[in-house]
Structures are given as structure tokens and as C-alpha cells.
């Protein structure tokens, strides 16, 4: 008889335990309880989120694989598909920053190559507490080192991403990792088991005790005892993963393989029962055959271990020797541990003795489903009321500008991306630090662009609008390099869903994502939900991170964001009223997170993006950069921050709310472009035809940033001075190993 304390320690409620007994028609043993525990955890089952996720748009003409597999896939032409996904490794990265981040990278890479795709690019989205806090500095250094250590070693470039800072992430950092791979459109491999009698193979590294109950840990809040959960964090080996990747891709080139699954969250348990459930078959395995790194491991430990660099294969009868030879060549384990059955059961044996027997479908597809109550926080309307403080904590607008670009949220992330090998494999086109990563598709004239974006402040103030703005910005970043946005993925980071106000944030954010994706015609191919991001009852800002993938038909049409010619005309495309609500200016200079986020007209957003892509294809633009954090002034400065350091002299559109709003107010649906003088009329004509506002601001040239408002010079600083401030804003807090 299993007692209540044991049930609670496994993260199951009494009602869920009663359902387990109904499914089995008996009491479970401890191993079976552990199996149900991990499969019914929030991390694996999405039991609090599925009700809302089902409302998202997941179909489109390019969608080859939507949600439900290891990753999504889009048709990119030339008989090829882009396979991509984003995952979180938040909790492990707080407990053990290096290994938590490293194994997050390893896990998302395996999700991609299990689909038959060769991984070609990585991105990451990171959130930490205030940069001046010693804990934050330790976490940043550990996480970045972990990402670099794994990605660089395996030889997959990290080509972009984003880093944010806020007090809410101090005890719960976010480490979201995106990976994209390329495969032939007819070569996509599924994670399913078929054919009774076909062999089940364990391939890759040995199983250890690291990571046991990692999925359960990721489905609970943090507290003062979280450091004791260090054994729940897996240990990664990128060199082993490189061998595993090559061996798997080689086997996939034959028809010996029926299906495969990464042993990620919940390890051997999840891979076996999910493959069985997808194929409507049973899986019979003997854990005594599993290669083990440690002595005396129990079936419970073997089934729940989340050791890295392991896969489960379903091999066609009669082809076993062929598969074994491939893995022998790569010096990897390929051990037959069982077979496919026709009874729909996950049967676990230990030296032939049955130690667990559970139907697959209730484990994988019929976990508890909760439509949790949700309610707006009592102060939700108050949060959007903004009364600006009378005192501005600086003596001039220019000083405000310099303080803003020095804030870690806006400052250069060079310290971070210099640790990543973003040029390995020689496919990277856009330099690190640009608005979107760009990778050429070898053998074609095409390129893929991708961007990650999220804004926790906006979502805290208005989760519906904030989530829409995140989708719009990620797509706009992709459009600004000349790529047509074609699909998206997401990683939804929120607090405890059992709290109605948190569930309200989640439900509203998902609704906003769905609305924006439908309007911009970028279907969602999959993603990840990370809940219970809280420490001692304090939740993170609601942070949905959106990844958008775009397609460039011709490599020569790719745009950069920086000014590259003097005496070019600077034009602002799009019309949007700037707002200080939820802005970086308000947070940085006044310490406030208040007001309404910028308004968003999705039709206008789509028109601006389409116009930029069209103008890029017709080679009418020299550069393009979206307006986001820090407003128009920051966007213009970022256009100047390069080795050439070309400045600009511009007139900033006036705002009835004053100079700070005109310069630093944030907007949607606006892009700063530079254009040769002889192309200005063509750009204006194209904008008029598209119904997009087009305003000449000034021109590039010189070594100064000169911004005029209301007929007066509001900011006049040298590019060199501003760039020095910008480059040191984050790095001054950190070590010099990547300076």
C-alpha cells in the first residue's frame, strides 16, 4: 500500500492516484507510481495548458508537421523542409547553471535530428535578475558558458537570440533554446512504434542516476531547499552527442528504421510509452539489458533517469545487424532491449520478471486535463494607469539617452555572443547581434531567418496585447532581413497555474498569440510550456517567447540593420503612436512598470512587414531595423553602432506627450530604413500603394547621432561615445573571458 506522503512526493494528487488505480484496476507498485508521476507531470502532460493550446492555429500550406511530434516542419521549397522547435531548461539552469543550460542545448538538438534533420543553427532566449546582483552574474556566466560549451563542441552555430533582465527572474532564470535543422521534405522521421515483433533498441550513452525526476522538478515551484535538487540536473557530453547525431542520421538514410525518440524529459519512460501510444502498439522492454553507468541501479532509477545523449529506436525485423554495425562504427551502444507488441501495454521487465505493466495511451494521451479557473488580478486595470513622475533623474535628454543604452536590457550583448561559435559550418550570413539570425540553405539560392522575442513587462500589464506584440516583433525582425515569415514556435514561461491570476495571464497570452499568428499567416508548428516558474511564491513576469522562421528566396536580397553608406536617406515606415507604457525608458529611468503597452494594428503590421520584404527583394533598401525597446532613438543608434560608425542627422516626429515619448516611446509596426537618394521616390510609391505611412527623417553621415525634436536638437552625441557606453553596459558586470 502506497501512503499519502509517497503519493505527494511524486507530485500526484489524491484524485490522480485514484485514477491510476482505476486504469490499472489495482494498486500500483512504486515503479508504476513513478512512471505515472513523470508522465502526468505538468512538464510532460501539459495538463493545465492543453485546453488553451488547442485554440492555436497549427495548419497552413507549408506545414508538413505540426504539434505532436518531436519538432515541427515547414516546406521551404527545393524539396527541403525546415525542422525547428524551442524548449525550456529553466529550473535545471538555476540549480546548476552550466549543466542546466548545456543539457538544454543537447536536448533541443536531439529533438531536431530525431526528425531526420541535420541541425544547422541555435538561438537562445535568456532572462535573469538585476545585473548588479552577484547571483545574477554567476548565473549569466554559468548559463552562457554551458550554452557555448555544448554548442561549440558539437559544431552547431549559435547565431542569435535575446537576453533580458528583471527582478522577477532573480530566483528563477529563463533558459529557452531554439534549434533549426534541414531535411528533405520526404525524409521526415516520426517518433512512433509499429509492427509487432519489431525490435526496440537502446542507443547512445549509458544510463546513470542523474536527472531522476527532472520532469517532476520542472513542474514545481522553487524554495529554499531547491539547491538540494542538484541530482535532478542531467550531465551532458556534446562529443557523445555528435557521434550519436551522425550515427542516427546514417541509419535514417536506410529503411531499417521505423521510428525513434529522444530520451529527454522522463527518459526511457517517456520515449517508450509515447512511441507506443502514437503507433497504437505495446512496448515490452527489459531494463536489465540497458547499459548502465553506475552499479546497483534499480528498475525505478533506470526508467526515470534523464541521462543525456540516449535514443530509443524501433528497428525493422531482419535489419538489426545493419543498425548495430552503424553504431559499432561510431563506437556507440546499440542494444536490443525489447520488442513491439500488439497489446498496447508498456511492459517493463527486469531479468525477465515483469515489474510494471501499464496501458500506453493513458500514460501518454489521457493524462488528467484541467480547465483551471482564471481571473484577472485585482489591480490589472490599475497597472495600466500611468502618471509620469515630475522629476526626471537626469539633467538632459542626452544623458537620459546614454543611461538607456547602457541598461543591460538594451546594451550590447557582445560579451554573450562572442563566446558562441556562430560561424562554424560556414553557413551563417548575418553577424551575431543582428535582429535575426540568417543561415544559407546549402545547394540552393535560399536562406532561412529566425528570431526569438518576448516582453514580460508588456505581458504583465496586458497579457493579450503583450503576447501579440511578441509575435509581431519576432516576425518583424525576420522581415527586416528580407525574409518572409512562414511559421512559428513558442515557449510559454509562466508561474503557478493553480493560482487564478497566473492562469488568467496564460489564457490571455495564448489567445493573443493565436490572434497574431492568424493575422500574420504564421502557423504554430509546436512549442513548449514551462509553468511553476516561481520562487517562494513570487512568480516571474509572464514571458511567452516567440520564435519565427522566415524564408529568403535569393541570398543577395538579405538586409542588415546598420547604416552602411553616408548620405543615404533615413526613412520611417509605418505609423504608430509611441507609448511609454511598459517601456524600457520607464523601467530604467523611473523604476516603473506601468501603463498600457503600445497599440497594435495587425493589418498594419502585416502591411509593413510585406512592404519591407518586397522592397528588399527589389533591392531598394540599404538597411532595415525595427523599432522596439527604447523607441526610435535607440533604433537609430543601433543602426549606427558598427565598425564604420556612420551617424545620422534626423528629425524625430513630435509627440503630444513630450520629447521623452517622441524619442523613447515604444511602438509597433515601425521600421527604420536607409535608402539611396535615387530610390526614395520608388520607396515612397511602394509605401503608398501598400497603405503604409512613409516619413523621411533625415540622412546618414558623419560621426554624430543628432536627433531633432520640435525644431530643436534634443540629442547630439558622438557615435564613438554612445557606442562605448552601449558596449560596456552589460560587460562591466562580468568576467573578461569573452571581452
- The set of catalytic residues is 43, 89
Continuous segment of H or E residues that includes residue 509: helix 500-520
Do 173 and 94 contact (CB within 8 A), yes or no?
A: yes
What whole-number distance in Å separates Cα of residue 590 and Cα of residue 394? 10
Question: How many CB atoms sit inside 10 A of residue 228's CB?
Answer: 9
Given a contact cutoff of 8 angstroms between Cβ atoms, the answer to whether 541 and 459 are in contact is: yes
Three-class DSSP category at 101: helix
Element (DSSP H or E) covering residue 5: helix 4-9
CA dist., res. 331 & res. 333, Å (int): 7
Buried b (16+ CB within 10 A) or exposed e, 187-226: ebbbbbbbbeebbbbbbbbbbbbbbbbbbbbbbbbbeeeb
**Cell numbers at 369, concatenated:** 486535463
- Spatial separation of the C-alpha atoms in residues 160 and 564, rounded to whole Å: 21
What is the C-alpha separation between 140 and 738, in angstroms, rounded? Answer: 13
SS (H, E, C) 351-387: CCEEEEEEEHHHHHCCCCCCCCCCCCCCCHHHHCCCC
Strands 199-204 and 282-286: unpaired
Strands 712-718 and 704-709: antiparallel
The distance from CA 668 to its chain's CA centroid, rounded to whole angstroms, is: 21
Distance in angstroms (rounded) separating the CA atoms of residues 216 and 2: 18
Taking residue 431's Cβ as centre, other Cβ atoms within 10 Å add up to 17
How far apart CA 707 and CA 713 sit, in angstroms, is 6
- Whose cell is 558623419? That residue is 702
- 384 close to 595: Cβ distance less than 8 angstroms: yes
First to last CA, the chain: 59
Q: From 273, 240, 263, 254, select the one nearest 324 (Cα to Cα).
A: 254
User: How far is it, in rounded angstroms, from Cα 516 to Cα 548?
Assistant: 12
Q: In this structure, are residues 284 and 347 in contact, taking their beta carbons and an 8 Å threshold?
A: yes
Amino acid at each position: 500500500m502506497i501512503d499519502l506522503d509517497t503519493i505527494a512526493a511524486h507530485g500526484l494528487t489524491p484524485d490522480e492516484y485514484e485514477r491510476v488505480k482505476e486504469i490499472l484496476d489495482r494498486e500500483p507498485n512504486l515503479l508504476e507510481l513513478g512512471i505515472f508521476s513523470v508522465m502526468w507531470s505538468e512538464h510532460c502532460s501539459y495538463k493545465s495548458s492543453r485546453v488553451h493550446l488547442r485554440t492555436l492555429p497549427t495548419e497552413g500550406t507549408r506545414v508538413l508537421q505540426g504539434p505532436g511530434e518531436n519538432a515541427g516542419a515547414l516546406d521551404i521549397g527545393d524539396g527541403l523542409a525546415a525542422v525547428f522547435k524551442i524548449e525550456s531548461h529553466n529550473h535545471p539552469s538555476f540549480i546548476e547553471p552550466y549543466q542546466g543550460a548545456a543539457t538544454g542545448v543537447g536536448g533541443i538538438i536531439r529533438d531536431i535530428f530525431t526528425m531526420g534533420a541535420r541541425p544547422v543553427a541555435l538561438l537562445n532566449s535568456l532572462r535573469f535578475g538585476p545585473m548588479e546582483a552577484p547571483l545574477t552574474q554567476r548565473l549569466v556566466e554559468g548559463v552562457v558558458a554551458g550554452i557555448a560549451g555544448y554548442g561549440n563542441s558539437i559544431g552547431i552555430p549559435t547565431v542569435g537570440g535575446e537576453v533580458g533582465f528583471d527582478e522577477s527572474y532573480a530566483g528563477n532564470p529563463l533558459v529557452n533554446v531554439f534549434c533549426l535543422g534541414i531535411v528533405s521534405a520526404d525524409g521526415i522521421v516520426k517518433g512512433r512504434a509499429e509492427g509487432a515483433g519489431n525490435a526496440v533498441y537502446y542507443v547512445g550513452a549509458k544510463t546513470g542516476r542523474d536527472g531522476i525526476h527532472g520532469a517532476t522538478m520542472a513542474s514545481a515551484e522553487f524554495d529554499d531547499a531547491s539547491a538540494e535538487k542538484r541530482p535532478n540536473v542531467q550531465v551532458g557530453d556534446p562529443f557523445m552527442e555528435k557521434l550519436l547525431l551522425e550515427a542516427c542520421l546514417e541509419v535514417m538514410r536506410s529503411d531499417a528504421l521505423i521510428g525513434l525518440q529522444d530520451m529527454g524529459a522522463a527518459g526511457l519512460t517517456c520515449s517508450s510509452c509515447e512511441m507506443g501510444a502514437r503507433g497504437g502498439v505495446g512496448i515490452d522492454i527489459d531494463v536489465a539489458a540497458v547499459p548502465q553507468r553506475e552499479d546497483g541501479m534499480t528498475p525505478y532509477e533506470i526508467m526515470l533517469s534523464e541521462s543525456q545523449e540516449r535514443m530509443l529506436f524501433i528497428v525493422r525485423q531482419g535489419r538489426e545487424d545493419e543498425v548495430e554495425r552503424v553504431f559499432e562504427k561510431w563506437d556507440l551502444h546499440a542494444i536490443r532491449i525489447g520488442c513491439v507488441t500488439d497489446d498496447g501495454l508498456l511492459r517493463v521487465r527486469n531479468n525477465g520478471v515483469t515489474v510494471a505493466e501499464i496501458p500506453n495511451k493513458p500514460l501518454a494521451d489521457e493524462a488528467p486535463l484541467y480547465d483551471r479557473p482564471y481571473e484577472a488580478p485585482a489591480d490589472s486595470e490599475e497597472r495600466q494607469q500611468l502618471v509620469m513622475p515630475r522629476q526626471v533623474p537626469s539633467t538632459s535628454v542626452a544623458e537620459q539617452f546614454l543611461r538607456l543604452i547602457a541598461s543591460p536590457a538594451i546594451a550590447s550583448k557582445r560579451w554573450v555572443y562572442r563566446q558562441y561559435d556562430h560561424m562554424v559550418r560556414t553557413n551563417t550570413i548575418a553577424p551575431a547581434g543582428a535582429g535575426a539570425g540568417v543561415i544559407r540553405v546549402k545547394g540552393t539560392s535560399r536562406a532561412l531567418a529566425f528570431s526569438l522575442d518576448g516582453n514580460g513587462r508588456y505581458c504583465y500589464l496586458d497579457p493579450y496585447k503583450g503576447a501579440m506584440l511578441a509575435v509581431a516583433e519576432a516576425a518583424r525582425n525576420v522581415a527586416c532581413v528580407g525574409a518572409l515569415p512562414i511559421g512559428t514556435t513558442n515557449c510559454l514561461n509562466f508561474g503557478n497555474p493553480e493560482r487564478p491570476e497566473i492562469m488568467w495571464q496564460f489564457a490571455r497570452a495564448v489567445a493573443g498569440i493565436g490572434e497574431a499568428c492568424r493575422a500574420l499567416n504564421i502557423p504554430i508548428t509546436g512549442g513548449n510550456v514551462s509553468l511553476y516558474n516561481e520562487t517562494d511564491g513570487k512568480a516571474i513576469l509572464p514571458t511567452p517567447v516567440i520564435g519565427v522562421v522566415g524564408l529568403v528566396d535569393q541570398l543577395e536580397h538579405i538586409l542588415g540593420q546598420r547604416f552602411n553608406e553616408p548620405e543615404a536617406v533615413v526613412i520611417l515606415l509605418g505609423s504608430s503612436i509611441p507609448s511609454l507604457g511598459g517601456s524600457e525608458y520607464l523601467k530604467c529611468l523611473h523604476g516603473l512598470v506601468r501603463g498600457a503597452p503600445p497599440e497594435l494594428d495587425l493589418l498594419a503590421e502585416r502591411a509593413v512587414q510585406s512592404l519591407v520584404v518586397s522592397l528588399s527583394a527589389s533591392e531598394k533598401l540599404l538597411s532595415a531595423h525595427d523599432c522596439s525597446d527604447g523607441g526610435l532613438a535607440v533604433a537609430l543608434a543601433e543602426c549606427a553602432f558598427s565598425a564604420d560608425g556612420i551617424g545620422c542627422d534626423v528629425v524625430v516626429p513630435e509627440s503630444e506627450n513630450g520629447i521623452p515619448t517622441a524619442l523613447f516611446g515604444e511602438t509597433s509596426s515601425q521600421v527604420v530604413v536607409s535608402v539611396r537618394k535615387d530610390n526614395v521616390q520608388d520607396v515612397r510609391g511602394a509605401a503608398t500603394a501598400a497603405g503604409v505611412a512613409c516619413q523621411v527623417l533625415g540622412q546618414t553621415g558623419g560621426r554624430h547621432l543628432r536627433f531633432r525634436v520640435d525644431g530643436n536638437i534634443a540629442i547630439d552625441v558622438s557615435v564613438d561615445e554612445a557606442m562605448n557606453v552601449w558596449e560596456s553596459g552589460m560587460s562591466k558586470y562580468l568576467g573578461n573571458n569573452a571581452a
